[in-house]
Amino acid sequence: MAIIDYPITSNYGDIDSMHKLPHKGMDFGLPLYTPVEAIQDAIVSYVGTNDILGNHIKLKLYNGDTIIYGHLAQFKVNLNDKVHKGDIVALSGGMPGMQGAGHSNGPHLHLTSIRDGVTVNPEPYLLGEQQNNSNPLIFPIMLILILIVCWKIKRYLFYGLGLFVLIGIVFLVS
């Protein structure tokens, strides 16, 4: 079963008994020792432990973003391994008192996503959606509208071309 097939026990941004500040990830109620799959193709950039996430791994996606899987019972990957979507990267953990559980009140998987050094909601990664802020249809629609305006009002041809170039630059930069 995929991660998204398990219940969400804490959403991104939640403030609850475990999270006094907005939660910087999502928690999924995976039973202990459940296989955890990579949600995107990536390279393993970290395998280790700390007091908060316990045993955790970081996957560096090919677009530069990072996905962190926390509260793991066992690692199934090594540093610098290439993983593909669906590959087993770990077994879930998080049982309080268990080695590598970190700050946890029960078995679960913590998932954090980082873009440009800032945590973002990991849900779009789980759904396989692209992580960008632009709609891919904006550019072709704007091109068609500009061409219609230029065809109808030929004296504004240069204004239309200038606007087209400006929109193209904005589209490429975003």
Domain segments of the chain as ranges: 3-126, 138-173
Tens digit of pLDDT for each residue in 120-173? 988 888 877 544 444 566 667 777 777 676 666 665 666 666 677 777 676 666
pLDDT for res 138: 67
pLDDT for res 5: 84
Helix axes of 157-173 and 138-152: crossing angle, nearest 10 degrees: 170
pLDDT for res 92: 93
pLDDT for res 42: 95
Residue 103 has pLDDT above 90, yes or no: no
pLDDT for res 127: 78
pLDDT for res 59: 97
Query: According to the per-residue pLDDT averaged within each range, which of 66-80, 111-125, 143-157 is highest?
Result: 66-80
What predicted TM-score, i.e. pTM, was given to this entire model? 0.71
Tens digit of pLDDT for each residue in 15-63? 766 666 777 888 899 999 999 999 999 999 999 999 989 999 999 999 9
Span 65-76, mean pLDDT?
Answer: 95
Strands 26-28 and 66-70: unpaired
Distance between CA atoms of residues 96 and 116, nearest Å: 32
The pLDDT > 90 percentage for the chain reads 43
The answer to whether residues 35 and 91 touch, using CB atoms and an 8 Å cutoff, is: yes
* pLDDT, greater one: 135 or 105: 105
The yes or no reply on domain 3-126 and CATH 2.60.40.420 is: no
Distance between CA atoms of residues 9 and 77, nearest Å: 26
What are the contacts of 14-19 at 24+ separation with CB within 8 A? 18/105
Q: What is the CA radius of gyration of the chain?
A: 22
